[in-house]
Amino acid sequence: MKTAIINARIFDGKQSIGVKTVLIDGETIVSIGGEVPDDAVIRDAEGGMLLPGLIDAHVHTSVEGLRDALKFGVTTELEMMGGFTKAGREKQLSGMEDIADVFSAGMGVTASGGHPDELMPGDGEIPEFVLKELANMSEEDRNAMLAAHAHDHEELPELTNANEARSFVAEQVRQGADYIKIMIEEGSVLAAPGLPVLSEEILRAAVEEAHNQGKLVLAHVLTADSSREAIEIGVDGLAHLFIDRPASTPELVDQIAGSGAFVTPCLVLNSSIIGNTASEMADDPRVKEKLSEEWIDTLKSSFNTYPQGSMEDNFRNVMDLHRAGVDILVGTDVSVPVPTLGGLAHGVSVHHEMQLLVEAGFTPVEALQSATAKTARRFNLNDRGRIAEGVRADLVLVDGDPTTKISDTLSIREVWIRGKSVYGSEVQG
């Protein structure tokens, strides 16, 4: 089936290219600015702007999370630890169409009892929202889901030396991990000081093995000190922005820029850690109507574990990196609807993150690049993140002009994933 989207202004992932017809055939964009074939279904997008499907470069997700993401035009979620490796996707997601696409790091390289254990409720206890989801599943799906959510200490082997770290990474790759995540978190800004962290030697071995296997390595780091360590051991990207701003920040910025690593700041998370809620987002009618009560409550709360931090420092940190030429990617660290992990929701927080980047000093176009083409390029996802011939037809049609007013990204008229319209108006023409 062919669909021609006509009369929309196009943002192609890098820039606005004016009003052009985008022709979809099956799952793929086949032409831009060409003729409309007789057999195409016509979608008149007058007054709207067409964007590539948005990408969230830092999530921990579920079927519910992937479904919510898609409602907000987020057509790809990149899981930074979780169950949706290739094996997990085959078990849990095959045949599902109303969900965002997902890639995953599998299990993270972390110390026994280290991050993110401190965020989990109880010991091996399954959170209530998971139980609710489990009740509606087949036995097979239930078992897969339980495996994915198993946070038992037995699940993560203790890594006591470099060789064990290497075989752990190799095992993640065997399970179909798309990239590797390492944790350097001593807990000071998460109200859990003294968390165990793996030694530099063990982490270095994990990074080497991942690179030998052709995989990118991302680091969980929330402070300037741990960011420096991650860069020194050779990671490809920082999955967070350091929340503090010591006097040595200019040297750290130079070091990150010199290494070529990208940074996914997750300003929405840092804002929550500092104690800010996302209540304004939750009250926006364009958000409210699409979310469950649990997620609305989650947006209206916050981590609040580092109230001494400031968004001004975070804005300065991210702008220093941006001006130094570091690729900044849009990510959120959204996970589950629990108030202590508040200020975040799937899909919504991508829009919020773009707004915070603009508040920090990005142009709206730069913020959009960071949620589309730039992320696709850094994760080698060559089939998405752009509106171009031959790529997946993952598209979002919005009212207004987000290249001048970033909050217009929330005025979603229609979303396509792999050429299929999954949200929006009825077929015309």
Query: Using CB under 5 A, which of the segments 16-24, 144-152, 330-338, 418-426 binds Zn ion?
Result: 330-338
H or E segment and range at residue 366: helix 364-370
**In the complex, what is the shortest distance from the CB of residue 139 to Zn ion, in angstroms, rounded to a whole number?**
30
**104 or 421, CB closer to Zn ion?**
104
b/e map 59-93, b = 16+ CB within 10 Å: bbbbbbbbbbbbbbbbbbbbbbbbbbbbbbbebbb
User: For Zn ion, which residue of 74, 80, 190, 257 counts as binding (CB under 5 A)?
Assistant: 80
- How far is 249 from 377, CA to CA, in rounded Å? 27
**Binders of Zn ion in range 122-141 (CB under 5 A):** none
**333 or 353, CB closer to Zn ion?**
333
**4 or 350, CB closer to Zn ion?**
350
Sheet holding 28-32, edge to edge: 28-32, 22-25, 2-6, 41-44
Q: Which residue is nearest to Zn ion (CB)?
A: 333
**185 or 394, CB closer to Zn ion?**
185
On the CB side of 130, CA atoms within 13 Å amount to: 22
**49 or 80, CB closer to Zn ion?**
80
- How far is 429 from 204, CA to CA, in rounded Å? 58
Q: Per CB under 5 A, does 190 bind Zn ion?
A: no
**In the complex, what is the shortest distance from the CB of residue 290 to Zn ion, in angstroms, rounded to a whole number?**
23
**168 or 303, CB closer to Zn ion?**
303
Q: Which residue has the tokens 């074939």?
A: 37
**336 or 376, CB closer to Zn ion?**
336
**In the complex, what is the shortest distance from the CB of residue 220 to Zn ion, in angstroms, rounded to a whole number?**
6
**1 or 191, CB closer to Zn ion?**
191
Contact 340, 301 (CB under 8 A): yes
Contact 188, 223 (CB under 8 A): yes
H or E segment and range at residue 279: helix 279-283
- CA 45, 49, 51, 56 dihedral sign is negative
**215 or 392, CB closer to Zn ion?**
215
**In the complex, what is the shortest distance from the CB of residue 289 to Zn ion, in angstroms, rounded to a whole number?**
27
Instruction: Name the nearest CA neighbour of 51 among 428, 411, 340.
Output: 411
Query: Using CB under 5 A, which of the segments 96-104, 126-134, 142-150, 326-334 binds Zn ion?
Result: 326-334
**In the complex, what is the shortest distance from the CB of residue 9 to Zn ion, in angstroms, rounded to a whole number?**
34
Query: Using CB under 5 A, which of the segments 65-73, 80-88, 103-111, 157-165 binds Zn ion?
Result: 80-88
**In the complex, what is the shortest distance from the CB of residue 105 to Zn ion, in angstroms, rounded to a whole number?**
10
| Structure tokens, 181 | 């995540």
Strands of 230-372, DSSP E: 237-238, 262-263
Q: Which residue has the tokens 């574990």?
A: 305
**218 or 397, CB closer to Zn ion?**
218
Q: Which residues pair with 59 in a beta bridge?
A: 79, 334
Binding characters for Zn ion, 89-128, by CB under 5 A (x = yes): ----------------------------------------
Q: Which residues pair with 412 in a beta bridge?
A: 398
Instruction: Name the nearest CA neighbour of 233 among 263, 264, 255, 266.
Output: 255
Contact 54, 339 (CB under 8 A): no
User: For Zn ion, which residue of 333, 353, 394, 414 counts as binding (CB under 5 A)?
Assistant: 333
- How far is 406 from 259, CA to CA, in rounded Å? 30
**In the complex, what is the shortest distance from the CB of residue 334 to Zn ion, in angstroms, rounded to a whole number?**
9
**In the complex, what is the shortest distance from the CB of residue 283 to Zn ion, in angstroms, rounded to a whole number?**
26
**In the complex, what is the shortest distance from the CB of residue 405 to Zn ion, in angstroms, rounded to a whole number?**
29
Q: How many residues bind Zn ion (CB under 5 A)?
A: 2
- How far is 298 from 295, CA to CA, in rounded Å? 5
Note the residues at the interface with Zn ion (CB under 5 A): 80, 333
